[in-house]
Chain A
Amino acid sequence: MRRSLVVWFSALALLGCASAAYADSFFQQLRVDSLIGAGIDMYHRGDYKQSLLAFEQALDLSPLDIEARYDRGLDLYALGQYKDAAAQFKQCTQQQAGFVPALFNLGVTDIALGDLAGAKAIFSKILAVHPSSVRANFDLGLSDYLDGHPDQAAKDFEIAALLHPQYVQAHYDRALAEYRTGNLVAADAEANVALKLDRNYAKGYFLLGAIHLRQGNGNDAKSMFERAQRLSGDPVLKSLCTQIIQQIGA
């Protein structure tokens, strides 16, 4: 009788401990999830500093939480702390090899850091498995363009534009890349496609102005810069347009 009481008591004690541990773990995960949810909400509201604090608290509680680490990388990127952001995304890919969103974001962060070779390697790796990824094609184009290969960039943007014909930026960037290679005819055609998709795209008119200027067509160039000036909400672009218009009119 005594022995069975001891056994029962021990079993109950063990069960209690296990339950307490489970409850502890359950409530901790609940707290982590709650912090991540709050962090995501603040990220969307643009409060990156507070959002970052929430993800850091989540990581203090659960250092291996891959979502909190990934989201922390987004905040660091948004705050312009690209090196730290890259470290977070890299750690995510090391922790989970197939974590593609972290890999892609690492590529974008590499562009921001000027590590264009690293960025190109990542986007090419994604495209090797998913060649129809419009974002990977587009960002490969950005990397090629910034790396001083506008001819290759034009091809990347062309694929992005073929995959997603309504993607204004793909047409605009292809036009810009063609402009850099000196193919003004192709640049003109693509800039016009971008403007057909978005009649109020100030940068498109600006680029067309530059193309006309290179073609020696001052009047058309002036008219395009005037449109860009009228449509742009950016004071820097507006001021540039004013200066260029004055130069043409001189």
Chain B
Amino acid sequence: MMNFMIEIGARRWLAALCAGAFTALASVALLHDAQDRAIARASSLSAMQLADHALITVAGPDDEGPYTLIDPIGPGGASGLAAADEVFASTIMAGQYSTYQPVQDPFAQPIPGDDHPPIPYGPPKGRLP
């Protein structure tokens, strides 16, 4: 009887020990998993912030060519009527007589000392993330 009691106690101890070990292992595993997730989340957050920073700028009509403003008027340029039509048209029409410009990327930052006109469709002052 005594032996039986000792056997049960030992088994309980063994079970408790196993349970404890399992819990500890599981905790470590969960902790690592949580850490991995946290690292992944931190990484994606940084990527997200980078992406959001770039996406603050909208694409303007100048993206397709020199269409930001209505064309010049006068000899060699558009007539006043044609320029007004540019404003009212239900499709983008402009620069029909001017040279088509390559696509400008609104993400491009102004280069110091560069004479190129700045792109106006950036965020207004104080709105940068």
Contact = CB atoms under 8 A, between A and B. Distances in A.
Given A105-B70, A108-B68, A133-B88, 15 more contacts: A74-B72, A77-B117, A101-B80, A132-B90, A146-B123, A167-B92, A169-B64, A207-B55, A209-B51, A210-B52, A213-B44, A234-B105, A234-B108, A237-B107, A247-B50
B94 to A, nearest CB: 8
A180 B69 CA distance: 27
Interface string B28-70: 0000000000010001101110111111001111011000111
B84 A142 contact: no
Contact of B44 (A78, A99, A168, A218): A218
A233 B105 contact: yes
8 contacts: A36-B76, A40-B72, A114-B124, A134-B90, A167-B91, A236-B107, A236-B108, A247-B46
Interface string B103-129: 101111100000001101101110100
B87 interface: yes
A67 interface: yes
Contact of A74 (B69, B103, B106, B108): B69
A172 B123 contact: no
B89 interface: yes
Contacts of A33: 74-75
A173 interface: yes
Chain A to chain B: the 10 pairs with minimum beta-carbon distance, closest first: A112-B120, A247-B47, A114-B124, A234-B105, A101-B83, A37-B75, A210-B51, A36-B74, A67-B74, A101-B70
A68 B74 contact: yes
Nearest to A237: B107
Interface in A150-187: 163-164, 167-169, 172-173, 176, 179
